[in-house]
Amino acid sequence: MPTAKVTNYGNGGVETLNITGTGRYVRLFGIERGTGYGYSLYEFAVQGTPAMVGNKALNKPAVASTSEGAGTAASFAVDGNTNTRWSSQFSDGQWIYVDLGSTMSVNGVSLKWEGAYAKAYNVQVSNDATKWTTVKAETNSDGALDDHPLAANGRYVRVLSVTRATGYGISLWDFEVR
């Protein structure tokens, strides 16, 4: 990984570093601690012009096969609030999709699962919400945060559960599309 900036004398307060470069990830790598304790940050922000739009699914219409109840509707998975969630009925084969509004590039999805998660699932795209193309088949999710880079196009992006990990349905705190 190329180094974009080296700072030898951090002051421990707010530091703004002017860096020029491009990349998908930005890492802060501590070389020497300023105290006898570990490293600690209140905030780490990267500013600039992003190469891609953020969450394309944010507040877009979402549809699900089922919902456990009114408080766990599909729209809660795409509302940007990680304290709300979508939750399905208790069976395999449940799905949720988001309508991006027009056909666009899908560079990836991030799925933040609740305790009831899909052990195996497919990420699919469609231009008509009828014919779906699988662009990622996950067979061994651990139920935490699944982040999948993709190279696809579609108006609709769907997560289709193949096998549940628990006796409950499946449930997402957050469903993001890049």
Q: Domain residues for 114?
A: 62-177
pLDDT at 48: 65
User: How many structural domains does the chain have?
Assistant: 1
User: In this structure, what are the phi and psi dihedrals at residue 10, rounded to the nearest 5 degrees?
Assistant: -70, 145
- The structure's pTM equals 0.72
Tokens of 94: 């449940």
Cα–Cα distance for residue pair 120/68, rounded to 1 Å: 20
Strands 171-177 and 95-113, by their bridges, are antiparallel
Q: Is the pLDDT of residue 27 over 60?
A: yes
Instruction: Give domain status of residue 44, yes or no.
Output: no
Q: Is the pLDDT of residue 6 over 60?
A: yes
Q: Comparing 30 with 97, which gets the higher pLDDT?
A: 97
Model confidence over 50-105: pLDDT tens digits? 554 589 999 999 999 999 999 999 999 999 999 999 999 999 999 999 999 999 99
Instruction: Give domain status of residue 31, yes or no.
Output: no
Model confidence over 102-136: pLDDT tens digits? 999 999 999 999 999 999 999 999 999 999 999 99
User: In this structure, what are the phi and psi dihedrals at residue 75, rounded to the nearest 5 degrees?
Assistant: -60, -25
Instruction: Give domain status of residue 133, yes or no.
Output: yes
Q: Comparing 3 with 68, which gets the higher pLDDT?
A: 68
Name the amino acid, one letter, at 48.
G
Closest alpha carbon to 96 in 165, 175, 37, 20? 175
Instruction: Give domain status of residue 12, yes or no.
Output: no
pLDDT at 53: 58
Cα–Cα distance for residue pair 9/163, rounded to 1 Å: 52
User: In this structure, what are the phi and psi dihedrals at residue 121, rounded to the nearest 5 degrees?
Assistant: -160, 165
Cα–Cα distance for residue pair 94/67, rounded to 1 Å: 9
Q: Comparing 37 with 70, which gets the higher pLDDT?
A: 70
Instruction: Give domain status of residue 171, yes or no.
Output: yes
Q: Comparing 94 with 6, which gets the higher pLDDT?
A: 94
Instruction: Give domain status of residue 161, yes or no.
Output: yes
CATH of the domain at 169: 2.60.120.260
Q: Comparing 24 with 119, which gets the higher pLDDT?
A: 119
Instruction: Give domain status of residue 88, yes or no.
Output: yes
- What are 113's strand-pairing partners? 172
Contact 123, 176 (CB under 8 A): no
Question: Kindly report the CA angle at 20 between 18 and 22, in degrees rounded to 5?
Answer: 135
Widest pairwise Cα distance in the chain: 59
Cα–Cα distance for residue pair 33/72, rounded to 1 Å: 45
Instruction: Give domain status of residue 77, yes or no.
Output: yes
